[in-house]
Amino acid sequence: MGYASRSGRARTNARNPQAFAVCDRCSLWSNHVNLNWQYDWAGASLINKRILVCDICYDTPQNQLRAIIIPADPLPIVNARVEPYQWDEIDRRQLSGFNTTSPTTGIPIQQGNTRATTVPGDTVTTTSTSGNGTTATVTFSTSVVYPLGTAVTISGVAPAGYNGTFSVTASSAGSVSFLNSTTGAQTVAGTLIVDDATLDTRVTQQTGEAPYGKNQLPGTDPNAVTYRTVTAAVNNGSGLIRLTLPTTNGMITGQLVTVQEVGGVTAANGNWYITVVNSTQIDLKLSTFSGTYTSGGYVINNPSLPYGFTEVPRTGTL
């Protein structure tokens, strides 16, 4: 009986008897009616941990166990205009041309000046074809002027050596020239077709190109000191690759350059430190010469890549 009188926090009332119970935490007696279920956060809601505790042992639910409810995204808008951060990091200017039509087909085209007076698929009949073993020249009855570098396809001409797809190296009204080893004059006339892959409508995004130009290569104005075309690639006599350029003005020994699209001597393509040999030639340090130069190539000095790019960006159709 002496032990039974020790009722802990429980109250005994003969007029209003209430059951005793043991707190699941402190194990002290309390009235059952005064014990509370222990709740705690689990995710987005409270759960009952199925233990009854007294007021002293009750823990306030811990908000760190509560899931963060992220509100719904705002409703989208029509025709949103998001800041083009990657484009902002690119060194380009925006130009626009004017509309005209092809002199041979009448198809509307967009161009930057009157030198680009044809469109892909234009076909003209050759009036004469001749070659000296190095260069072939084709004439035709129209006054079309093809931009340098345009690919033209010759077919149906005899001798057959004049037939094929070639890159224009010289052009005037009604005439184009390209590299070809065939000799003699044509005995049978054929057709000349502008190749769809190299002559396209003028693009509006340009990379620092000269006024009215139609730049398809990365870099800047081909007449600027930062961009140069390659005209030859030879062995410098000690195994290094020596490039011939229109000028080395503005270049210095030890600077970094990017060389691309050199035909035949493909080892020249890449990033190189250079030695300026003279006013038109540079040597690529630590290079190894191999092959025979065929055509093409360009050099950009002090190259730097725009944000987000792994190569110097191009413009227009490749």
pLDDT, residue 226, reads 66
Per-residue b or e along 282-298, where b marks 16 or more CB atoms closer than 10 Å to that residue's CB: bbbeebebeeebeebbb
| Residues 200/109, Cβ–Cβ less than 8 Å | no
Domains of the chain are 1-70 (no CATH), 99-194 (2.40.30), 218-301 (2.40.30.180)
Put simply, whether the predicted model's pTM sits higher than 0.85 gets the answer no
Distance CA 160, CA 171 (A): 22
Q: pLDDT value at position 6? A: 72
Q: Say if residues 36 and 21 touch (Cβ distance below 8 Å).
A: no
Low-confidence ranges of the chain (pLDDT < 50): 1, 92-120, 196-216, 218-225, 316-318
Distance CA 136, CA 161 (A): 10
How confident is the model at residue 241, as a pLDDT? 96
In this prediction, residue 210 carries a pLDDT of 45
pLDDT of residue 233: 96
